[in-house]
Amino acid sequence: MAKVTVLTAVYNAERYLRQCLDSLRNQTLTDCQFICIDDCSTDASSVVLQEYAQADKRFRMLRTPVNSGLAKARNLGLQFAQGDYVTTLDADDWLAPDALERACEALERGRAQCAVLELVEHYEEDGHEEVYSIRSAKQEWSGEEAFRLSLDWSLHGLYVAERALYERFPFDDTCRLYSDENTTRLHYLYSEKVVRCSGRYYYRKHASSMTMACSVCRFDSMLANVSMKRHLEALSLADKQAVLDFYECHRWLNLVDCYWYYHQHHDAFKAEEHQEIQVLFQQMLLGIERQRIPWSLKGKFGYYPFRFYRVFCVCEGLYFRLRKWLGR
């Protein structure tokens, strides 16, 4: 057994990997388990992982049978987790030396299920750093409060949590991108208490990130929303309908945001990609539960959930032109 298990999925991260692994090896909390999952890297990442596993028994190296994406790789590692608590560390990020110790102290002192780390964004181009501003003055939240704050990332998703939460809700791997974020939100929702801690997570921001690239993968966020909605519908919650209403508003706002992205980057997509994207929008529009969206939102210009794609496109096109004209 260990106090904390850290899951690190690795894909072609050789350039940054030693800094990541050194930050684990140098933790002031020594009672740790570090599970590194090589997702079929084609660079020397696996060589680096083997080196650390041979030098330090706290490291364990696993390998996916085929390149599977972040969530599936993490789920493979989760099968071998032994820590009382579990967290994740991306292969191009790193932790402050006392991050895990401070997280455990916060969890035990606050009798909480999740401890939110202090997120420091490190900009690769010029090396400057900024502390992520959590848009809440509170030091602790109920599970539902944390869930709601996480929908627009007023509360980010980097935290240490009880292993039982990960066992109940492993990483959602229905999409290659974005669906793993659903896991964060379910962990928050099913926590009695979520607390802040002062342990620092350093998040590297660079242009090569999958989420930064202009790609049809950007629209996976809508599919991830569908997966999350199914999770919520299947759960037993005292105020389930209120949570579903709130989430449907979030889902609709994301759909509009995705169409804005499509509108801005229209020329970047190939003909077959346009067809794929437009079919997806049609499917998403048909699935929106309009009765859950309040008139305070759908009464706004550009935010009425039309069922038919062509009507939606005309309305959004007018709305976007108006936004551009107003300089927003």
Percent of the chain with pLDDT over 90: 89
Tens-digit pLDDT profile for residues 137-151: 999 999 999 999 999
For residue 4, how many other CB atoms are within 10 A of its CB? 25
Tens-digit pLDDT profile for residues 192-218: 999 999 999 999 997 655 444 678 989
- Residue 185 pLDDT more than 50? yes
Domain 2-205 annotated CATH 3.90.550.10: yes
How far is residue 247's CA from residue 239's CA, in Å, rounded to a whole number? Answer: 12
Q: For the residues 14-32, what does the mean pLDDT come to?
A: 98
Q: Which helix (H) or strand (E) holds 230?
A: helix 220-234
Q: For the residues 4-26, what does the mean pLDDT come to?
A: 98
Which residue did the predictor score with more confidence, 274 or 327? 274
Tens-digit pLDDT profile for residues 280-312: 999 999 999 999 999 999 999 999 999 999 999
- The pLDDT score that the predictor gives to residue 176 is 80
**Residue 1: band (very low, low, confident or very high) from pLDDT cuts 50, 70, 90:** confident
Residues 254, 152 contacting (CB under 8 angstroms):
no
As given in the structure block, the two tokens for residue 178 are: 């974005």
Domain boundaries, the chain: 2-205, 216-326
